[in-house]
């Protein structure tokens, strides 16, 4: 089994992986630091190609980036699986992979935000992209692993006006309160927020505002919206060293013709761009992007979505400043975003809109999720029993709930290999099939001007 399938790698383990592969596969593998993170960690970029057949910059190139969001570490594993499979001399496709590396270059960024990943492995579910403090007054709610167990779960306390209740017959499992739930018994309903403390706590306000910090996937120049319009975006595009370093790296590699950005979760293939209507795209681009998306969707069973139409949280407001949209609109690189891991599909849950997967589960879907979890996982893998805790501001509360980091956000390790392999299998075909390096876009590939 490949290392990428066995465990999630922290920063030190990732660096050891890179050093080992450079030592073992020097003809095909190299890596370099393309810059420093906001807190001083190296941002590594892999170059995968046959060095004895032209310089990497003289071949058409395929780009993969991953882990722009701190908790989405499946993307890193998928990026490393790509390396392991291509350099596996015992694999049945080894000769095809060697032929591809003669003709092509693969640039692979396994960890966009090393600061965020380090924070995640220390305190799961803590930040969106970086542990840098947000410099805005509305961010008075601070996620924090207050019980010190290594993962931020939930806090709850009884409240007669609380919006959550326990699912009947399922101890500790919370679902939304129905409009017809008229009982005012405070022991039945709960207020629920992530483990946290409040800055400047006034003794009264116990609500959760935007609490994830900065989001590097709202930092690109394409249709950038500043902090007042898009929480987490910061004041200026490319404000942070991570996004600037990566943007400069891909811009400098003018042989890149296509790309994929790896995220979790939901089991989606998302077509870019989001802020340009589909009918305003060049016909050739529109057809290629759609064909790529349909192929990935068919082979992975991930649902296909348009960033402009149905993958939006607020109707009429596509996401601004995303990295995949920027490299298409500004650099002409055709690409897609892949959201690994679909626990909803595993459990047979239903939804109408894609982003419903990121919202609170209905009782019907919760029952399906619990059934799947009970049949396939140990309870301690996906749920933390509610435990009494003396909160420094709220007093007596309980901490517990779903352990989402390696259950919903990322697949449990037992499912990791199959999840990243099925994406690799189709990307291998899309990026080149050993006979033509132009399969992905269907045209002759030339370096960008």
Residue 99, phi then psi, degrees to nearest 5: -65, -40
Is residue 447 over pLDDT 50? Answer: no
Residues of the chain with CATH 3.40.630.10: 3-120+215-341+412-431
Return the residue matching tokens 């392999």.
421
Strand partners, 36: 42
Polymer length of the chain: 449
141-158 pLDDT tens trace = 888 999 999 999 999 999
Is residue 107 over pLDDT 90? Answer: yes
The candidate with the shortest Cα–Cα distance to 127, out of 109, 145, 111, 108, is 145
Q: Write down the pLDDT at residue 199.
A: 81
Q: Using CA atoms of 283, 287, 288, 292 in order, give the dihedral in degrees to the nearest 10.
A: 160
Average pLDDT score over residue span 253-268: 95
User: Do 397 and 389 meet the contact criterion of CB atoms below 8 Å apart?
Assistant: yes
Q: How confident is the model at residue 429 (pLDDT cuts 50, 70, 90)?
A: confident
Is residue 318 over pLDDT 90? Answer: no
Q: How confident is the model at residue 441 (pLDDT cuts 50, 70, 90)?
A: very low
Q: State whether residue 269 is helix, strand or coil.
A: strand
Distances in whole angstroms, Cα of residue 39 to Cα of each of 43, 141, 240 = 11, 22, 11
pTM for this one? 0.93
346-368 pLDDT tens trace = 999 988 778 878 877 888 999 99
The whole-angstrom separation of Cα 197 and Cα 282 is 49
Q: Write down the pLDDT at residue 444.
A: 34
Q: Check: CATH 3.40.630.10 for 3-120+215-341+412-431?
A: yes
Mention every residue, 6+ apart, whose C-beta is less than 8 A from residue 434.
96, 99, 100
Structure token digits, residue 155: 């806090």
Structure token digits, residue 193: 């927020």
Highest mean pLDDT among 126-135, 183-192, 356-365: 126-135
Mention every residue, 6+ apart, whose C-beta is less than 8 A from residue 310.
353, 354
Q: How confident is the model at residue 435 (pLDDT cuts 50, 70, 90)?
A: very low
2-31 pLDDT tens trace = 999 999 999 999 999 999 999 999 999 999
């Amino acid at each position: 089994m490949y290392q990428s399938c066995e465990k999630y790698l922290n920063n030190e383990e990732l660096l050891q992986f890179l050093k080992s592969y450079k030592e073992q596969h020097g003809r095909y593998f190299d890596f370099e630091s393309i810059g420093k993170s906001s807190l001083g960690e190296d941002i590594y970029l892999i170059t995968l190609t046959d060095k004895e057949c032209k310089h990497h910059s003289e071949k058409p190139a395929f780009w993969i980036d991953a882990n722009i969001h701190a908790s989405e570490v499946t993307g890193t594993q998928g990026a490393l699986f790509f390396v392991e499979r291509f350099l596996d001399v015992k694999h049945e496709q080894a000769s095809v992979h060697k032929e591809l590396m003669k003709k092509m270059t693969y640039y692979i960024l396994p960890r966009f935000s090393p600061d965020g990943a380090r924070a995640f492995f220390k305190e799961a579910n803590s930040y969106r992209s970086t542990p840098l403090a947000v410099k805005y007054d509305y961010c008075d709610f601070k996620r924090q692993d207050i019980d010190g167990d290594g993962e931020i779960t939930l806090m709850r306390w009884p409240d007669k006006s609380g919006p959550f209740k326990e699912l009947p017959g399922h101890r500790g499992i919370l679902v939304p309160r129905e409009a017809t739930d008229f009982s005012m018994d405070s022991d039945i309903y709960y207020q629920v927020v992530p483990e946290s403390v409040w800055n400047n706590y006034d003794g009264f306000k116990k609500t959760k505002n935007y609490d994830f910090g900065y989001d590097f996937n709202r930092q690109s120049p394409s249709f950038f919206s500043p902090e007042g319009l898009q929480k987490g975006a910061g004041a200026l595009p490319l404000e942070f060293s991570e996004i600037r370093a990566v943007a400069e790296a891909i811009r400098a590699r003018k042989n890149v013709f296509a790309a994929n950005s790896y995220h979790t979760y939901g089991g989606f293939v998302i077509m870019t761009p989001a802020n340009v209507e589909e009918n305003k795209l060049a016909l050739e681009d529109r057809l290629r992007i759609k064909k790529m998306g349909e192929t990935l969707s068919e082979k992975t069973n991930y649902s296909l979505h348009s960033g402009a139409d149905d993958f939006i949280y607020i109707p009429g407001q596509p996401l601004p400043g995303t990295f995949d949209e920027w490299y298409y609109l500004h650099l002409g690189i055709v690409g897609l975003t892949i959201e690994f891991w679909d626990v909803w599909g595993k459990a047979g849950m239903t939804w109408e809109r894609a982003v419903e997967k990121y919202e609170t589960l209905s009782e019907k879907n919760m029952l399906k999720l619990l059934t799947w979890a009970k049949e396939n996982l140990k309870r301690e893998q996906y749920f933390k029993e509610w435990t009494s805790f003396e909160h420094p501001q709220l007093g007596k509360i309980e901490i517990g709930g779903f352990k989402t980091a390696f259950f919903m956000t990322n697949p449990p390790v037992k499912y990791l290999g199959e999840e990243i392999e099925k994406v690799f299998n189709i990307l291998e075909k899309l990026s080149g099939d050993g006979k033509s390096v132009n399969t992905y876009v269907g045209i002759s590939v030339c370096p960008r001007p």
